[in-house]
Amino acid sequence: MHPILITIIQRLLLGLLTLFFVSIIIFSSIEFLPGDFTQAILGQAATEETVAAFRRELGLDQPAYIRYFDWIGAVLQGDFGSSFSGRNSSGVDRSRAVIDLVAPRLGNTLFLAGMAAIVSIPLSLILGITAALYRNSIYDRSVNALTLTTISFPEFFLAYLLILFFSSLWPVFPSLANVNIDTSLGERIYKCVLPALTLTLVIVAHMMRMTRAALINLLASPYIEMSQLKGISKAKVILRHALPNAWAPIATVIAFNLAYLVVGVVVVEVVFVYPGIGQLMVDSVTTRDIPVVQACVLIFATTYILLNLTADIIGIVTNPRLLHPK
Amino acid sequence: MSTERDKKGDILLEMKDIRVEGFSDERWHKIIKGIDLTLHRGQVMGLIGESGAGKSTLGLASMGFTKPGCKITSGSIFFDGQDLIKANDEEKRMLWGTKIAYVAQSAAASFNPAHRLLDQTVEASLNRNLQTKSVAEADARNLYEQLQLPDPNNIGDRYPHQVSGGQLQRMMTAMAMSPRPELIIFDEPTTALDVTTQVEVLVAMRNIVEKFNTAALYITHDLAVVAQMADVIKVLRYGHEVEEAKTREMLVSPKEDYTKSLWSVRSLEKPESPSDDFVISINNVDAAYLGGSKVLHNVNIDIPRGRTVAVVGESGSGKSTTARVITGLLQPITGSVYFNGEALPPALKDRSKEQLRRVQMIYQSADTAMNPRQTISEIVGRPLEFYHSLYGTQKQERILELLEMIELDESFYDRFPGELSGGQKQRVCIARALAADPEVIICDEVTSALDQIVQEGILQLLLRLQQEFNITYLFITHDIAVVQAISDEIVVMYQGAVVEQGLKSKIMSPPYPDYTKLLLKSVPEMDPNWLTNLVDKRD
Amino acid sequence: MKNHPIGYSAVAEVNRMRERRSQWQIVKLELSKAPYSAWFGIIVILAYFFVALFAPLLAPHGEAEIFTSSFAPWGGEHVFGTDQIGRDIFSRLIYGARNTIGIALATTLVSFAIGGSLGLVAAISGGWTDQILSRLVDVLMAIPGLIFALMLLTIFGSSILSLILIIAVLDSTRVFRLTRSVAISVVVMDYVEAAKLRGEKLAWIMRREILPNIMPPLIAEFGLRFSFVFLTIAALSFLGLGIQPPTADWGSMVRDNASMIQFAKYDLTAALTPMLPAGAIALLTVAVNFVVDWFLDKTSGIKDEH
């Protein structure tokens, strides 16, 4: 088999293994809850029988490893169990399936993140590359200082600044991004402008700095100096000599920042009251609705791992040493 | 040959009063302090000097180029009548790669890993439309053949990581030669290579430069190498020119003291004295690094007391691994090390303090062998505390005694390593080893990072200490001149096995086993005819 | 044996002597050359720490003292008005400095204690210890930090102690990686091998040979980690899951007063009220980042070129 395939398969297996351990960590979170948490969820008035029935439903009478395999098996089929909320002490169960809570909101979050990514990825690559090329110029220094300031701002500070200017003082965009299934695409985009802009500002700053650093590192390679000394023009040095070796670092930067986007989305969704998975998670943490929290964490972690995996594989595929083995 | 050649052409490169400064530690430092250089067409000039002499900077400056963070502050550079100081980037770019080419020290890092070698070889020619692609490629294959690269018709289809270091270095010469430049700058092109590989590369480079009558600046710190390559030699020191002369004249009668001192180490020679009283015996040792294949195969070495045993071999020969087995850093798979007839525990952690004390080690790079955050007294004092439980004034007095032994005064007592020169650092490392009162000191390439004149001082110190304290040295080196200077016995290693062991006089004279012969023959000598004779003998 | 070469003496051997300076002199020299951004950062940080230390003396009112008028306007007795239940915003901003910075600092210290020591152990011991610790850290880092923290807070609740411990443990993974990688670059140095060959104990090697040599990157990392932790805690508090009332804290102050932004058209100062704590957070992180940026630039300076 071609060594590159072997390396990719190894990397995929490692990703799966990481996912397996992560799922164990997420699953075992329920083990650390205080013993009487079922009582707390159902309320003080719950009878012993209702509590016992609830515990049975959760499978708490079975050993942990059996419950893990039941849980992960169900998760793989898209069943994350049912929410803790909506249950009451009388034993009436109005709880909803976690998947029904999560699925529509996941779509919303992906829409918002996608909007931010479409703008921020090209923008930050252009800024990063130009800053690296014109290193130490006024342009580089000012972009550098500006982005250093932006990455130091908490997301909610940027969000409220935008709301203050573009929603309160000069009301052009709404400060509430309350979309639902019936919202048309145009309105959806309109309502998402401020949250997406907030995310874009944060991501562009991080990504531009990382792109710049990766490129400067690359341009310091002896073979770049060699190509200069061969009389190759600056544009050709970049296109022929730097770019073919830049895919791996750039892919890493993009993956890292998309992963960052996924996290940043939590705070931004809360500020703009956007019905995404981040806000769902925050609400569920407040009400200690473990099944929903577990589902959210699993989704976030999987996205994160997949992004890094993709970056690594791009790095492997574009590595000449692996492409052309000895 | 050389007299013929330096009449050959008119002036190609003329540099006058060149000054270059570099920026570090928040200020500008002078690197080149006013040097003149004149090079004729077809002439090869050797730029020789020790580290910090500014030879690489001068070489690059001849192209009108400086590394980032450096600048040419004054002087004039005329190449082929064109003023390179006044020339803008675009005009200089038109010369680079076509009229002037550069061959760097590290071939592995200087080739772009993403492109085939052939594409990179012809890139400069195609860039200027000097030749059509097919003509340039055919010419490149021709150059590969002349440079004696294997499979010249297909080797260009490979990627840089797919060929060896020596091949890559010749490949870079082909790349430089492809547009038929008038000047090539060779910047320490063979420094990273083993001696046996170096010979092949030197021959190839010299022939091709001669064939196309290309002028060259050959930058190196190795006198013997430059003697083979250059028509004229310019000696540099601390950014100044020391002297310039035709190669033969300079070898026979150097004018300046500094130039003479560069020769002197080669004349140091210790008379050998045999002994059968072995302090260390390595018996049938096989060893491997964790998860790797075997690097030592049935190694047997006997080290006589109070003598110096030199272990010679190229990189990968297992000489440093042997030292690691003796010190216990690497446990052998089979076999053992005997000290005064007693087997040493194979692992470092099982050895007693007393066993550890008796064998001390000195490293190649004194920079990394001393903690930069400790003072000299802390560095030398620690073994005194640790092995001999000396504290307070007793320790202090002993440290001063040791400093005196290594010819340094008390002003060094509370300095930090960063404030010492390379040779002084290596002396402190010797003092640290002496502080333990060892019976054996393992010296791992201790002089190879040092300039010639400093090397001699260190070697003389080691010889004196051996006479005074009857210390045994195991001296790992690849430098035959150092072997001559210090050893009683020699061990030749190749690919993890001992080729032979014996008295210096026996090893250094025929009949040789094949490898020893190759190794000894490959070490460049000061004789400018050495390379020519070597090639003639082969044909 | 031959004599020394002409005019040679070891003592007189030429070297690039650096001028001998005390630590304090070096600090003064560096400061005098520091760019404006670094100066700005240093002054801001000192001011914040001053406020945090002397909060009770500087604040006009108590941290949790409730007045009759809620959402009082700026000026008069309450410089920045009062919040939704009538607490003095200015006083709470001052106390907030103490609480928010204090907790972030404590968290960063714990995170360095855990990550730093384990990173050193992994670097020196190598082998299985290193493998196990590194793989464990890989797995922990596969879950995004804020998300992981949210999950753990669900389980352990939002007390200050659990907040500090949870964030410290999660953040220590990054400290571990950095410490391990810089320590490994020191561990391969010959002087560490020399100490091992001498028979020195692990603890001695760690303390005397390695730690002094990895301090500069660790100090820079401390600044970076501090601002990261600080932002994480602020974000959690903002989400209502961090520092709990009535303890004054900037993140929750933003959350509590956020609705006032809607009144910008009628009373700009009211709209600025939630921006004050948010700006306070931003200013400190900017300051720390400026100082770290300068420090990194100093310690990774361009090497001498020959």
> Is C289 in Cβ contact with A25 (below 8 Å)?
no
> Is A240 in Cβ contact with B102 (below 8 Å)?
no
Helix (H, G, I), strand (E, B) or coil at A152: helix
Higher pLDDT pick, C33 / B414: B414
Q: Touching check for A233 and chain B: CB below 8 Å? A: yes
Give how far C133 is from chain A: nearest CA, Å. Answer: 14
Q: CB of B72 within 8 A of CB of B54?
A: no
Q: Supply C59's token pair.
A: 């604040």
> Is B267 in Cβ contact with C208 (below 8 Å)?
no
Q: Return the half-sphere exposure (C-beta side, CA atoms, 13 A cut-off) of residue B410.
A: 5
**How many angstroms separate the CA atoms of B344 and B352, rounded?**
10
**β pairing state of B359-362 and B342-343:** unpaired
Return all residues near B473 (Cβ < 8 A) that are at least 6 apart. Answer: B307, B308, B309, B440, B441, B442, B443, B462, B466, B486
Look at residues A99, A50, A279, A75 and name the one whose alpha carbon lies nearest to residue A177. Answer: A279
Chain A residues whose beta carbon lies within 8 Å of the beta carbon of residue B97 = 229-232
CATH topology of domain C36-300: MetI-like fold (1.10.3720)
> Is C145 in Cβ contact with A160 (below 8 Å)?
no
Which positions 189-228 of A are in contact with B (Cβ < 8 Å)? 221-223, 225-228
Confidence of residue A264 (pLDDT cuts 50, 70, 90): confident
Give how far A320 is from chain B: nearest CA, Å. Answer: 5
> Is C193 in Cβ contact with B329 (below 8 Å)?
yes
Flag whether B222 is in a domain.
yes
Domain A100-323: assigned CATH number: 1.10.3720.10
**How many angstroms separate the CA atoms of B38 and B45, rounded?**
9
Return all residues near C157 (Cβ < 8 A) that are at least 6 apart. Answer: none
Question: DSSP labels for C112-178?
Answer: HHHHHHHHHHHHHH-HHHHHHHHHHHHHHHTS-HHHHHHHHHHHH-S-HHHHHHHHHHHHHHHHHHH
Q: Which chains touch B (3 or more CB pairs under 8 A)?
A: A, C
ipTM (interface pTM): 0.85
**How many angstroms separate the CA atoms of B449 and B429, rounded?**
14
> Is A148 in Cβ contact with C293 (below 8 Å)?
yes
Query: Is residue C134 pLDDT above 70, yes or no?
Result: yes
CA angle A309, A312, A317 (to 5 degrees): 125
Give how far B489 is from chain C: nearest CA, Å. Answer: 19
* pLDDT at residue A288, as a whole number: 83
Residue A218 vs residues A37, A323, B70, C22: alpha-carbon distances, Å: 54, 20, 20, 38
Closest partner residue to B460 (CB to CB) among C1, C11, C196 is C1
Give how far B110 is from chain A: nearest CA, Å. Answer: 4
Interface test with A, best of B110, B129, B177 (most A CBs within 10 A): B110
Average confidence score pLDDT of chain C: 83
Q: Which residue of B has its CA nearest to A317?
A: B114
Residue B442 belongs to domain with CATH number: 3.40.50.300
pLDDT digits (tens, 9 = 90+) for A143-175: 888 888 888 888 889 999 998 888 888 888 888
> Is A301 in Cβ contact with C142 (below 8 Å)?
yes
Greatest alpha-carbon span in chain C: 99
Chain B residues whose beta carbon lies within 8 Å of the beta carbon of residue A245 = 112-114
Look at residues A299, A196, A315 and name the one whose alpha carbon lies nearest to residue A255. Answer: A315
> Is B113 in Cβ contact with A223 (below 8 Å)?
yes
Q: Which residue of B has its CA nearest to A221?
A: B109
Helix (H, G, I), strand (E, B) or coil at C85: coil
Report the range of poorest mean pLDDT among A284-288, B69-73, C49-53, C269-273.
C269-273
Domain limit, last residue, from B231, B260, B289 = B260
Interface test with C, best of B368, B414, B429 (most C CBs within 10 A): B368
Query: Is residue C228 pLDDT above 60, yes or no?
Result: yes
Q: CB of B320 within 8 A of CB of B477?
A: no
Do B247 and B352 lie in a common domain?
Answer: no
Do B327 and B464 lie in a common domain?
Answer: yes
Q: Which chains touch C (3 or more CB pairs under 8 A)?
A: A, B
Q: Which residue of A has its CA nearest to B68?
A: A220
> Is B110 in Cβ contact with A222 (below 8 Å)?
yes
pLDDT digits (tens, 9 = 90+) for A57-67: 777 777 888 88
* pLDDT at residue B5, as a whole number: 45
Do B329 and B225 lie in a common domain?
Answer: no
Cβ atoms within 10 Å of C139's Cβ, excluding its own: 17
CA A168, A174, A177, A179 torsion-angle sign:
positive
* pLDDT at residue C220, as a whole number: 86
* pLDDT at residue B26, as a whole number: 67
Confidence of residue C300 (pLDDT cuts 50, 70, 90): low
**How many angstroms separate the CA atoms of B180 and B48, rounded?**
25
Q: Where are the domains of chain C?
A: 36-300
Closest partner residue to A230 (CB to CB) among B96, B106, B115 is B96
Flag whether B385 is in a domain.
yes
Query: Is residue A304 pLDDT above 50, yes or no?
Result: yes
pLDDT digits (tens, 9 = 90+) for A37-51: 777 777 777 777 777
* pLDDT at residue C20, as a whole number: 56
Cβ atoms within 10 Å of B422's Cβ, excluding its own: 21
Do B94 and B193 lie in a common domain?
Answer: yes
* pLDDT at residue B442, as a whole number: 95
* pLDDT at residue C302, as a whole number: 35
Look at residues C7, B258, C249 and name the one whose alpha carbon lies nearest to residue A154. Answer: C249
Closest partner residue to C139 (CB to CB) among A21, A154, A284 is A21
pLDDT digits (tens, 9 = 90+) for C93-123: 899 888 889 999 999 999 999 999 999 989 9
> Is A236 in Cβ contact with B115 (below 8 Å)?
no
Count structural domains, chain B. 2
H or E element that contains B462: helix B452-469
Closest partner residue to B356 (CB to CB) among C8, C18, C198 is C198
> Is C275 in Cβ contact with A154 (below 8 Å)?
no
Cβ atoms within 10 Å of A43's Cβ, excluding its own: 12
> Is B268 in Cβ contact with C11 (below 8 Å)?
no
Question: DSSP labels for B76-96?
Answer: EEEETTEETTT--HHHHHHHB
Do B177 and B286 lie in a common domain?
Answer: no
One-letter amino acid for residue B218 of the chain: Y
> Is C302 in Cβ contact with B23 (below 8 Å)?
yes
Do B152 and B233 lie in a common domain?
Answer: yes
Q: How do the pLDDT tens digits run along chain B, 539 residues long? A: 444 444 457 889 999 999 999 887 667 888 899 999 999 998 999 999 887 788 889 999 999 998 888 889 999 999 988 898 888 888 888 899 889 999 988 888 899 998 999 999 999 888 888 788 899 999 999 999 888 888 999 999 999 988 888 889 889 989 999 989 999 999 988 877 788 888 888 888 888 889 889 999 999 888 888 888 999 999 998 889 999 999 988 888 888 888 887 776 566 778 888 888 999 999 999 998 877 788 899 999 999 999 999 999 888 888 889 999 999 999 999 999 999 989 999 998 899 999 999 999 999 888 889 998 899 999 999 999 999 999 999 999 999 999 999 989 888 888 888 888 888 999 999 999 999 999 999 999 898 878 777 888 899 999 999 999 999 999 998 888 888 888 999 999 998 899 989 898 888 887 778 888 888 888 888 788 888 888 887 76
Q: CB of B198 within 8 A of CB of B12?
A: no
Q: CB of C188 within 8 A of CB of C124?
A: no
> Is A29 in Cβ contact with C155 (below 8 Å)?
yes
Look at residues B302, B294, B301, B303 and name the one whose alpha carbon lies nearest to residue B334. Answer: B294
Q: Which residues of C sit within 8 Å Cβ distance of B?
A: 1-2, 4-11, 13-18, 20, 33, 189-191, 193-194, 196-200, 208-209, 212-213, 301-306
Return all residues near B67 (Cβ < 8 A) that are at least 6 apart. Answer: A225, B22, B57, B60, C305
pLDDT digits (tens, 9 = 90+) for A92-138: 666 788 888 888 899 999 999 999 999 999 999 899 888 888 888 88
CA angle B401, B407, B408 (to 5 degrees): 80
B vs C: CB pairs below 8 A: 121
Q: Where are the domains of chain A?
A: 100-323
Which residues, in sequence order, are bridge partners of residue B77? B15
Q: Touching check for A170 and chain C: CB below 8 Å? A: no
Residue A126 vs residues A204, A215, A261: alpha-carbon distances, Å: 10, 12, 19
Do B120 and B197 lie in a common domain?
Answer: yes
CA B3, B9, B10, B11 torsion-angle sign:
negative
Tokens 């439980």, located at residue: B389
Confidence of residue C180 (pLDDT cuts 50, 70, 90): very high
Closest partner residue to A231 (CB to CB) among B98, B112, B175 is B98
Burial class of residue B298 in the structure, from the number of CB atoms within 10 Å of its CB (0-12 exposed, 13-18 middle, 19+ buried): middle
Interface test with B, best of A217, A230, A233 (most B CBs within 10 A): A230
H or E element that contains B218: strand B215-220
Return all residues near C167 (Cβ < 8 A) that are at least 6 apart. Answer: C107, C111, C149, C229, C232, C233
Flag whether B518 is in a domain.
no
* pLDDT at residue C257, as a whole number: 84
Q: Which residue of A has its CA nearest to C234?
A: A154
* pLDDT at residue B8, as a whole number: 56
Do B235 and B284 lie in a common domain?
Answer: no
Q: CB of A264 within 8 A of CB of A203?
A: yes
Give how far C261 is from chain B: nearest CA, Å. Answer: 48
* pLDDT at residue C10, as a whole number: 65
Closest partner residue to A232 (CB to CB) among B95, B127, B162 is B127
Q: Which domain holds residue B136?
A: 42-60+89-260
Closest partner residue to C274 (CB to CB) among A145, A155, A160 is A160
> Is C147 in Cβ contact with A297 (below 8 Å)?
yes
Closest partner residue to A241 (CB to CB) among B97, B104, B112 is B112
Interface test with A, best of C143, C233, C254, C285 (most A CBs within 10 A): C143
* pLDDT at residue B40, as a whole number: 92
Give every strand in the sheet of B70-79, ordered side by side.
B27-40, B11-24, B70-79, B82-83
Do B341 and B455 lie in a common domain?
Answer: yes
Give how far C258 is from chain A: nearest CA, Å. Answer: 8
